[in-house]
Amino acid sequence: MKRIILDATRWSSESEFHEAVVRALGAPDWHGRNLDAWWDSIVRDFNDIHPPYMVVINGLETCGPDLQKYIERFIELFAEARGKFSLEVYATATPLN
């Protein structure tokens, strides 16, 4: 399984998070910068990285509380995609608060 390792220690905004994930997953330039767009991206599989894969976000504790909650919701999208569509996509963060 492909593992995509991301370092959250320098993220201070949703924009920085989105830019990092877009690059890591090879999302198209027109990819939206919100959770609805990530849902579409995960279940429609239009990125350069295809299932099975796991996104690992290290250093989540260094992000502000609002960004942590946003990233935790991003991680939940992967579980929802597995449950609804049996996709082999995973995401986790270390540590989760």
Q: In CATH, what number is assigned to the domain containing residue 56?
A: 3.30.370.10
User: How many structural domains compose the chain?
Assistant: 1
Mean pLDDT of the 36-41 span = 96
The Cα–Cα gap between 27 and 95 comes to 26
Domain membership of residue 13 as a residue range: 2-94
User: What is the model's pLDDT at position 62?
Assistant: 93
% of the chain with per-residue pLDDT over 90: 95
Positions of E strands within the chain? 2-7, 53-58, 89-94
pLDDT band, very low/low/confident/very high, at 97 (cuts 50, 70, 90): very low
Amino acid 96: pLDDT: 53
